[in-house]
Structure 1
Amino acid sequence: MVIYREFKELKGVSSPVHWAMGMFDGLHLGHAGVIAAAVEGAARDGGIAAVLTFRTHPLARVRPESVPPAIMAVDAEKFALMEELGVKMVLTLEFSSRLASLSPEEFIKELCSSCRVAEIAVGEDWHFGRGRAGDVGTLRLLASRYGFRVTAVPPILRAGERVSSTRIREAVRAADFLQAAEMLGRPYRWKGTVLHGRQLGRLLNYPTANMKPGSGVQPPHGVYAVRAWVNGVEYGGVANLGVRPTVEGDAGELLLETHLFGQPGDIYGQKMEVEPVRFLRAEAKFPSLEELKSQLALDAAHAVEVLKRGE
């Protein structure tokens, strides 16, 4: 898959392009439907299935305090999922002041001047151009002028409600991982590299694989029954997401500390994925390390039971 960052880089693309357009935060089922429309169009009519998206959220330009936390904060993960869906090309634009100033027609004209646009697929509620002035109706008018097809994809419903990035954030913040997975089309997971820590867990007989949980939307700080994958091997485990108040006070860095059931060996520097299965308890500050150790034993036993039940 080829990734471009500016309109001018498209000048060398000679094939007709079927674009899926959107922010695609989280790449949920609704987004997958829009991308599928472009992929199907390219397969049917010939050409390249492509995504046009933005490196920065449009709200960052006008109301930065209102920018929601990303569901998928790492572009590489998003692009990998797009490639799995059949996307061959991505144009990821910086939402600059110049881009924000373009009228709907100016935006479409610039795109059509950069490549052969065969199709633009969007969600039915998509808006574009200065002040979000353009909608699907505007896009259809411009399509007749510039010679491309418009595919407006209806929303996907789950539990009678529209799948949206907002609902997914709410589900993650409520530790409702089943609902989040139903809308994402895959489990919510943390992904990262195992870091060296203070090895306090080892002293407490509960060694942990530590990693930074990322800058995206997070569930509540606390203890979780989890499944984890390292080097292609699956482990059950118990994990703490938080700042470790018993040993760090209130100034600790946000970390995910996962105690894996089994013998993973030395995994420092290895990539790890951790899937929260169930929230067990909130993070707490204990009077002593002995009391923390006792609670860790209870947490581990609780996690084992949850995982045995297949929750």
Structure 2
Amino acid sequence: MAMAPDRQVFEAAAGWYVQFQAEPPTPAQQQAWQRWVDSNPAHLAAWNQMEQMQRHLGAMPRDLARRALTPGQNRRQMLKLLLIVAGTGYVGWNAQKYTTLGNVWADYSTKVGQRRKIELADGTQLHLNTQTAVDVLFDDQQRLIRLRSGEILVSTGKLGAQRPFIVETRDGRIQALGTRFSLQQFSGSTRVGVLEDRVNVQPTSASTGSRILQAGEGIDLRSDRLGAIHPYRSSQAAWINGQLIVLDTPLGEVLGELARYRSGVIHCDAGAAKLRVSGTFRLDATDAVLANLQASLPISVRYFTRYWVSVGHAG
């Protein structure tokens, strides 16, 4: 088994990562980065871990990223944060059960760009989206799914219906009331959407009351509170069919979704990010989607490496 990259290598990878968050690399920077990645397998392993953290954490918060890209103390603080996370593997929640390393031992999981459908013993159909990990714990008392990371869609089965069906995330518990629903785990919240029937949503904090969601409703669940109920459309679950369906959506958000299904980084400048997009896109052909977007919008798509794509406004 290959040894994990040491701190010096992590520091170099984190340095490249923070630098590339600022703006697309120049040709000279791109060549220097490629030489560094190719020079040692540990360099590629460290860079891949930076990418894995980005995907697992749901991308760096914009305000922190913006401050990290400026010279001086803020950039050094963000670099330090990346090193701490990379060096420990800790990404929040419980260090023993819910870490990136712990996901290796999940009952079911998917890699970047992979989707998977599983039928459980009670007839439940469980769809796993890209980079998702779950545990399934069925006993005489309950049917429990633990969402470690990623996104799932659940269609509950009828066998053993006398036992409650519960999905547990780091932010709380969601009990199905004979239903079809989706959950997506972010770094600080869980997004719940109901397609059929109802679910009961309960934050981790015992002092916070629960709420019942009806079909067509969604909510963002945090460990200590519930957000406002918002509409949830069936098109938001189109990923189970390998599709991304958007209507008058900012390009920046569309690219953020596409980035979940490919390794590396998609950088989008502010001008391009504001352009509005409508359409149905294939999640298993992100390069073709980028080409189609370039053909239909005033943008340029540049590939510096297979891991780094830059989208800019061409108007």
The answer to whether TM tops 0.5 is no
More strand by share: 2
Structure number with greater CO (CA < 8 Å, separation at least 6) is 1
Aligning the two structures, in what range does the TM-score lie when normalised by the shorter sequence?
under 0.3
The TM-score with structure 1 as length reference comes to 0.26
